[in-house]
Every structure is written in C-alpha cells, then in structure tokens.
Amino acid sequence: MLEELKTGQQNKVIARKLGITEATVKVHIKSLLRKLNVRNRTQAAILAVSMPMEFQQEEEKAGIIGTQADLDASSQWSVCS
C-alpha cells in the first residue's frame, strides 16, 4: 500500500490493482498514517521515499507497514462481511 502512495495512486486505482474495495483501501491507509505518525498521504509518501529499503522491510516485519499478505487477508474479510 505504501508503494502505491509513493506513486500517487488514487484509492480507486489501488483498490482495482489489489482486488479489494475502495473502503478497504481507505481503512488501510488510515491505519498506515496512524502507524507512521503522519497526518496525510502526502507526508506518508515523502516518508516512504526517504526511507531506506532495509528500514521498510524491518517496518513490515514489525507490523508498522502492512505487507501484500496483510492486504490479501483483509480483502478476504471485507468480501465475507
């Protein structure tokens, strides 16, 4: 999700690309903003661009930045609920 924010993708585009609803994208972005302690998606994108790849991988392991597997799992729940 953070990679999509870095490229400036709209929620609708992210949702289509990941095969999830736009509402699910909004939930994930809101969570991501909270975990990164930023106020908006622009700040998150700037932070992501300035983050070394090794740090991003550590953040994923720590659960601060969601992985694709996290998105896949949550999309199953959003479809079922």
59 pLDDT above the threshold of 80? no
Burial class (CB within 10 angstroms; exposed 0-12, middle 13-18, buried 19+) of 74: middle
75 pLDDT above the threshold of 50? no
Q: What average pLDDT does the segment 38-51 reach? A: 90
2: confidence class by pLDDT, cuts 50, 70, 90: confident
Q: What average pLDDT does the segment 29-58 reach? A: 83
Tell me what pLDDT residue 18 has: 92
Burial class (CB within 10 angstroms; exposed 0-12, middle 13-18, buried 19+) of 20: buried
Indicate the domain borders of the chain: 2-80
Taking each helix axis from N to C terminus, what angle separates 22-36 and 11-18, rounded to the nearest 10 degrees? 110
Contacts of 30 (CB under 8 A, 6+ apart): none
Fold classified for 2-80: Arc Repressor Mutant, subunit A (1.10.10)
Model-wide pTM > 0.95: no
